[in-house]
Amino acid sequence: AQTVTQSQPEMSVQEAETVTLSCTYDTSESDYYLFWYKQPPSRQMILVIRQEAYKQQNATENRFSVNFQKAAKSFSLKISDSQLGDAAMYFCAYRRSGATNKLIFGTGTLLAVQP
């Protein structure tokens, strides 16, 4: 069975600084997708970034980028130039290949941004 582990329950970063959230996963599949979702206090689940396992290039979306290490089964999220609006719970998620497969979530990392 696939599992996703986020070992940092809470993180804190100063505004304008960079922070990295960790995620590891376990799977025997070779083709899969990884995601980072953001959940602010409004409880919406917002897709931040996604990575296809077959792509070696790390995904980037503006201030958000990932470090995908397939052999190590590691998928960390880097937030650059942190903003107050980045404060939220961040979930790492895994999905087998195929858009209509279920997501398996980690336990989340609560990110605080200090002004």
Partner 1 sequence: DARVTQTPRHKVTEMGQEVTMRCQPILGHNTVFWYRQTMMQGLELLAYFRNRAPLDDSGMPKDRFSAEMPDATLATLKIQPSEPRDSAVYFCASASYGPQHFGDGTRLSIL
Residue span 50-79 as binding mask against partner 1, x where in contact by CB under 8 A, dash where not: x-----------------------------
Provide the minimum distance between the beta carbon of 69 and partner 1 in the complex, in angstroms, as a whole number: 21
Residue 42 binding partner 1, by CB under 8 A: yes
Stretch that binds partner 1, among 12-20, 65-73, 79-87, 101-109 (CB under 8 A): 101-109
Contact, 94 vs 76, CB < 8 A? Answer: no
CA distances, 47 to each of 14, 38, 51, 71 (Å):
23, 6, 12, 24
DSSP for residue 58 = P
The minimum distance between CB 5 and partner 1, in angstroms, equals: 12
Instruction: Note whether 102 binds partner 1 by CB under 8 A.
Output: yes
What are the distances in angstroms from CA 7 to CA 15, 92, 113?
Answer: 23, 11, 19
Tokens of 62: 């503006």
Binding residues for partner 1 (CB under 8 A): 33, 35, 37, 42-45, 47, 50, 91, 99-100, 102-108
